[in-house]
Chains A and B, each alone.
Chain A
Amino acid sequence: MRFYEFEAKQLLEKHGIPLVQSELVKTADEAKTAASKIGGPVILKAQVIAPGLTTASVQEVADPAGAKAAAATLLGLDDGGRKPNGILVEARPTGEAVYSLSFTYDGTTKLPVIAAANMAGKIDDLGDTHPERIVRRHFSALYPFSDYIAKELAKSLVLGGNDLKRMTRIVSGLARLFLKYDLADLDITSMVKLGEGRFAVLDVEADLEIEARHRQRPMLDDLGFAKDDLRQVREPTKFELEGARIDAEDPRGIISPIAEFDGNIGLVIGAGGGSLTLTDAVRKHGGRPANYAAIGGNPSVDKARRLTKLVLSKPGVDKIAVMSNVVSNTRADLVARGVIKGITELGFEPKDKILIFRVPGAWEADAAKILQKYGVEYCDRTVSISEAARRAVEKVS
């Protein structure tokens, strides 16, 4: 879950990390006032979540009048259906040196890792352009963070004297904060060493581990995070909200994540990796999925019924494909009953609406019997996922 930069900076400030002078504003006039308070050229950063706005969300201006004009433009940005959550107006000091620091988990060693470079940028990008300038140091999520690790990292950045001590303090502080708040990624993409020897953080990106959002509630409350705010890259659509509601109202099985696309083939598919594979397979054969779904964990008949009705009622969808990987715990017969019930409740014949039914595995004989009664062909495990997708696409066109 992505933090707005102003939120990330609040966390850093609370833990004594030195920051550049900065003010969050909500209007163009406030931006002007903030810019004159800071004085000189300033940078304005629209507070957005959607990816792809990195360039569009930032403007550097020379004076308060420029700040006002830039703020007016930035506030009009479309952040995946949302408005920007204010603008950070910040000083832009040029220092003697620039650094970047990145904290994440390394899937290979399974340990948290700090990467640093003596230049600005995202470590992910610097890895391609300047791999020789990156230094790395693993640490532990099991043991408390020890300052010497930060000191060794500062040393490998060729720092000495007071610089080494200041950098050690900053890196230690960030590492502890990274662990304490269950961050998944923390990127200081720019930190300058100012003339008088102080360091100041300019740009921050931070992501919360989504699975830790419940135990991090006190921190999120402090920041004013709404309870249901998952910081998705775009606002959920009506279709997606309804899907989430159906999922939440019945604890038996899951039908999420559910997402809306603009195609014409309704998908009632599961689960996890199966739905990723199935969505690809439909597209591979030239089909256009109308949605993404992921039914798993043995959903009830009622949940399958409601999902079927939701997908089939989506404008532009005439038929649905019901497909899954070979299921182990989800019962094929319950899915079949739910799908048939959903279709008949909408006043249609199941055989007119089901492009294909390919859910092999647990209780498959019963599923086949139910479908046969309604004249719907049941595809068993001898029909591959690729073949099932091909047949579904062929039938719709």
Chain B
Amino acid sequence: MAVIVHEDFQFIVQGITGREALNFTRECLEYGSKIIGGVTPGKGGREVYGVPVYDTVREITDTQRVDGTVITVPLAFAPDAAYEAIDAGIKEIIIITEGIPRKDASAVVEYAALHGARVIGPNCLGIIVPDVCRFGSLGGPAVDCRKAFKPGVVGVMSRSGGMTTEICNALTLSGLGVSTAISIGGDPVIGSTYADLIPLFEADKDTKAVVVYSEPGGTAEAELARWTQEHKSRLPIVAFVAGRFMDEMPGMSFGHAGTVVNKKVDSPADKMRRMREAGISVAEEIGDIPNLVRERIGN
């Protein structure tokens, strides 16, 4: 089993001829993912590593089953690309593009919800189910990706793409391994929060624990704490909150766009308190995560 993707998951890449997209398309193919088409307006008829390029999404969805799309088009075209995918009936949408204003992100996510589609991101890297499917640009070159992500029992959700790989690498080294890893995005408004996604891990029999990487800013951690208190989850959760130094620097912005301490709920100290009160194990140090997971699952 796996979360969101599966062995036969087939997806497309919108913006496939961009520099970053060329890299991760090759990396995904080398990893074994099924990319059945790409879209770049005006470049229909070309090929990228054997993947046919089209001008529109519908040219692909009219003839084939498309389970998901990875959107990595320039900022100004990103919402339009998402609307095109949603209207073509695609249900799993990863938006890698950075810097989308929250008004636009909110509108896209609302439209997706009205059409039964799920958005991961924006400003994320996507999903990996180790040795099964890579959906997005998470993990870099296939050879590095295989080193950092080995199949195992821990689900990972992270607001930072880079830290997704770092944490999965530590879980892999410790022998626990990874069931599904999701880079959820670092923006103030994202399509899928921890609380939105944790029921999927709950339903995944391969997942025995979940690790959450979090940062200053936003209400996602408070929402997860609430979810944990309201549901009798079988899954132990281990969280790490980065950016604790920012508590001394209100208003300063570091890292992602969503990373700023303005309101009380933004503060790492507040997030850690809420999560601990909900029974989530909060790691003092990033290096403590694997041992905390072991303690919680009794392994």
Q: Is the CB of A271 within 8 A of B99?
A: no
Q: Is the CB of B162 within 8 A of A386?
A: no
B130 at the interface (CB under 8 A from A): no
Q: Contacts of B139 on A, CB cut-off 8 Å?
A: 328
Cβ 8 A contact of B251, one of A51, A283, A385: A51
Decide if the interface of chain A is mainly helix, strand, loop or mixed. Answer: mixed
Q: Contacts of B101 on A, CB cut-off 8 Å?
A: 182, 209, 211-212, 215
| A 108-151 binary contact with B (CB < 8 Å = 1; else 0) | 10111000000000001000100000000000111000000000
A20 at the interface (CB under 8 A from B): no
A107 at the interface (CB under 8 A from B): yes
Q: Is the CB of B162 within 8 A of A276?
A: no
Q: Is the CB of A329 within 8 A of B285?
A: no
Give bound CA distance, A108 to B243, whole Å.
22
Q: Is the CB of B242 within 8 A of A384?
A: no
Q: Is the CB of B106 within 8 A of A111?
A: yes
Tell me which of A140, A182, A274, A294 has the highest count of chain B C-beta atoms within 10 A of its own C-beta.
Answer: A274
Shortest distance from the beta carbon of A283 to any chain B beta carbon, whole Å: 6
Q: Is the CB of B253 within 8 A of A257?
A: yes
A-facing residues in B128-161 (Cβ within 8 Å): 137-141, 144-145, 147-148, 158-161
A-facing residues in B244-269 (Cβ within 8 Å): 244-246, 249-257, 259, 262-265
Which chain A residue has the least Cβ–Cβ distance from B158?
A273
B-facing residues in A222-273 (Cβ within 8 Å): 232-233, 257, 259, 270-273
B9 at the interface (CB under 8 A from A): no
B102 at the interface (CB under 8 A from A): yes
Chain A interface residue number, banded: 35 or more
Give bound CA distance, A324 to B215, whole Å.
17
Chain B interface residue number, banded: 35 or more
Give bound CA distance, A390 to B257, whole Å.
29
Q: Contacts of A140 on B, CB cut-off 8 Å?
A: 107, 110
Q: Given A110-B106, A211-B101 in contact, is the A361-B243 Cβ separation under 8 Å?
A: no
Give bound CA distance, A141 to B243, whole Å.
30
Q: Contacts of A111 on B, CB cut-off 8 Å?
A: 106, 110
Q: Contacts of A294 on B, CB cut-off 8 Å?
A: 254-255
B-facing residues in A44-88 (Cβ within 8 Å): 50-52
Q: Is the CB of B243 within 8 A of A276?
A: yes
Give bound CA distance, A209 to B260, whole Å.
12
B-facing residues in A309-347 (Cβ within 8 Å): 324-329
A106 at the interface (CB under 8 A from B): yes
Give bound CA distance, A20 to B213, whole Å.
46
Give bound CA distance, A185 to B265, whole Å.
15
Choose, from B43-51, B61-69, B165-173, B199-207, the stretch at the interface. B165-173
Give bound CA distance, A32 to B88, whole Å.
64
Give bound CA distance, A272 to B105, whole Å.
20
Q: Is the CB of B244 within 8 A of A381?
A: no
B103 at the interface (CB under 8 A from A): yes
B-facing residues in A24-59 (Cβ within 8 Å): 50-52
Which chain A residue has the least Cβ–Cβ distance from B106?
A141
B-facing residues in A341-397 (Cβ within 8 Å): 360-362, 381-382, 384-387
B-facing residues in A251-307 (Cβ within 8 Å): 257, 259, 270-277, 279-281, 283-284, 292, 294, 296
A/B interface sample: 29 pairs, CB < 8 A: A105-B106, A105-B189, A107-B188, A107-B193, A108-B220, A108-B223, A110-B189, A124-B263, A128-B264, A140-B107, A142-B110, A184-B188, A211-B99, A233-B250, A233-B252, A272-B163, A272-B256, A273-B161, A273-B213, A276-B242, A276-B259, A280-B245, A328-B145, A328-B165, A329-B140, A360-B169, A362-B141, A385-B166, A385-B287
Other A-B contacts than A141-B106, A277-B163, A328-B145, 12 sampled, CB-CB below 8 A, are A111-B106, A112-B103, A182-B101, A211-B101, A212-B103, A272-B162, A273-B186, A273-B215, A276-B245, A325-B163, A328-B138, A361-B140
B contact residues vs A (CB 8 Å cutoff)? 20, 23, 99-107, 109-111, 125, 137-141, 144-145, 147-148, 158-163, 165-166, 169-170, 173, 186, 188-191, 193, 195, 213, 215-216, 218-220, 223, 240, 242-246, 249-257, 259, 262-265, 284-288
Q: Which 9 A-B residue pairs are closest in the complex by CB-CB distance?
A: A273-B160, A328-B140, A386-B287, A325-B166, A233-B251, A384-B287, A276-B243, A276-B242, A273-B163
